[in-house]
């Protein structure tokens, strides 16, 4: 069972904080347009560790705050403020997809807060607006220009939707769910802003990350290329790469592999 609490950011935006377990704090963040349920599913049920997910602005039960402030840098600053005010730094920091980008930025910009790093299914290496994020950006663009039902139909009939239907059905299922995600204006703003954003770090800075790092990736994922996971594992000196079962093959095995990789890594700390 998880526990939910509120954290107010420096600009007065209220964020929902979902926690489960007791012991060493592990900040573990969700992906774009996700919520605490995503890291909750993947995190191992392990005594001695407390999973903490600060739902990012506009996600889950958190307020969006000013839409112009939606960015990976803002989300990372919010996590840094939470750690500084509520936890004893440094702590384990990680995340899935966008959450991995947030964790990567924290490891570079605030190394004093990060003891260990977990980067799962990264959608960025260092560059902003990578090609793999174009499907998310297209969903955001359509939601900004037409009603949700029409936007969804246009996306599914378009070249990106058709390609994902053939190559990455799990990615397509996630994207089509965004057309019903409320509030629509916040969803559109998030998809547009974050898809065109990046962690704001350089390859040289990544190569100087000095903490033990776990990088998780899998194949058959157009939004989170396994090549990105391998690239980060190669650049970070103390990184370990773990390849897990794709969700399209077996969601149950994907979850089991994910939890096993994290459990093994955390036990070694």
- Is residue 176 located within the same domain as residue 249? no
- Is residue 219 located within the same domain as residue 243? yes
Q: Which of 226, 221, 144 is nearest to 155 (CA)?
A: 144
Sheet-wide strand order for 23-29: 3-8, 14-20, 48-54, 23-29, 91-96, 114-120, 213-217, 239-243
Burial of 73 (0-12, 13-18, 19+ CB in 10 A): middle
Q: How many helices (H) and strands (E) would you count in the chain?
A: 11, 8
- 77 has a pLDDT exceeding 80: yes
**Final residue of a domain: which of 144, 167, 192?**
192
- Is residue 87 located within the same domain as residue 19? yes
pLDDT value for 156:
97
- Is residue 143 located within the same domain as residue 233? no
Structural domain containing residue 111: 3-128+198-267
Whole-model pTM above 0.85?
yes
Over range 162-188, report the average pLDDT.
95
Instruction: Give the phi and the psi of residue 19 in degrees, each rounded to 5.
Output: -130, 155
pLDDT value for 63:
98
CA gap 76, 110 in Å, rounded? 9
In this structure, the chain runs to a length of 269
Q: Which of 144, 136, 124 is nearest to 164 (CA)?
A: 136
pLDDT value for 138:
98
pLDDT value for 79:
98
Give the tens place of pLDDT for each residue, 91-132.
999 999 999 999 999 999 999 999 999 999 999 999 999 999
- 84 has a pLDDT exceeding 80: yes
CA gap 227, 233 in Å, rounded? 10
- Is residue 160 located within the same domain as residue 41? no
Which residues, listed in sequence order, are joined to residue 13 by a DSSP beta bridge? none
What stretches of the chain adopt beta strand conformation (E)?
Answer: 3-8, 14-20, 23-29, 48-54, 91-96, 114-120, 213-217, 239-243
- Is residue 93 located within the same domain as residue 147? no
Report the chain's C-alpha Rg in angstroms: 17
Domains contained in the chain, number? 2
- 1 has a pLDDT exceeding 60: no
CA gap 118, 107 in Å, rounded? 10
């Amino acid at each position: 069972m998880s526990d939910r609490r509120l954290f107010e950011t420096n600009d007065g935006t209220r964020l929902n904080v979902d926690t489960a377990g007791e012991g060493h704090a592990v900040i573990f963040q969700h992906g774009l347009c996700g919520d605490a349920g995503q890291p909750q599913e993947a995190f191992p049920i392990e005594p001695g560790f407390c999973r903490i997910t600060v739902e990012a602005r506009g996600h889950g039960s958190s307020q969006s705050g000013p839409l112009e402030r939606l960015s990976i840098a803002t989300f990372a600053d919010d996590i840094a403020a939470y750690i500084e005010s509520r936890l004893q730094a440094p702590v384990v920091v990680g995340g899935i997809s966008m959450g991995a980008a947030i964790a990567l930025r924290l490891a570079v910009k605030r190394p004093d807060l990060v003891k260990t790093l977990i980067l799962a299914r990264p959608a960025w290496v260092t560059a902003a607006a990578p090609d793999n994020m174009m499907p998310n950006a297209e969903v955001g663009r359509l939601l900004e220009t037409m009603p949700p039902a029409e936007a969804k139909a246009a996306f599914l009939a378009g070249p990106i939707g058709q390609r994902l239907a053939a190559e990455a059905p799990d990615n397509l299922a996630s994207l089509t769910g965004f057309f019903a995600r409320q509030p629509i204006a916040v969803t559109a703003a998030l998809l547009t802003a974050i898809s065109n954003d990046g962690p704001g770090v350089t390859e040289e800075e990544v190569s100087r990350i000095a903490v033990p790092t776990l990088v998780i990736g899998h194949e058959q994922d157009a939004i989170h290329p396994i090549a990105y996971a391998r690239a980060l594992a190669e650049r970070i000196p103390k990184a370990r790469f773990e390849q897990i079962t794709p969700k399209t093959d077996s969601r149950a095995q994907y979850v089991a592999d994910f939890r096993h990789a994290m459990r093994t890594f955390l036990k070694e700390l």
